[in-house]
Amino acid sequence: MFAVPADFDRMNVERFKRVTEEKLRGVRCPEHHRPPRLRFHGASLREMSISISGCCSRLMELANARIASPDLSLE
């Protein structure tokens, strides 16, 4: 009998992280020219949450809009 790979869910989490990081690539604050800082919470996709921090609210808006955009709409 095969065991379900213990890291299967973790792989999905890693993928999710990569996709999310990809979305934020190139996002910079127009005023301070800083990238947002991204943090992931939770060990599985189901409980995964993201927190973004940045230098100012303008950057937060940009980052949030980018995160909320559909996958694979990368430019």
Binding site for Zn ion (CB under 5 A): 29, 31-32, 55-56, 59
Give the Cα separation of 7 and 9 in Å (integer): 5
Least Å distance, CB 54 to Zn ion, is 6
Least Å distance, CB 64 to Zn ion, is 14
Residue 29 or 63 with smaller CB distance to Zn ion:
29
Least Å distance, CB 32 to Zn ion, is 4
Within 10 angstroms of residue 35's Cβ, the number of other Cβ atoms is 16
* Extended beta strands in 1-75, E state: 37-41, 49-53
Residue 21 or 31 with smaller CB distance to Zn ion:
31
Strand partners, 41: 49
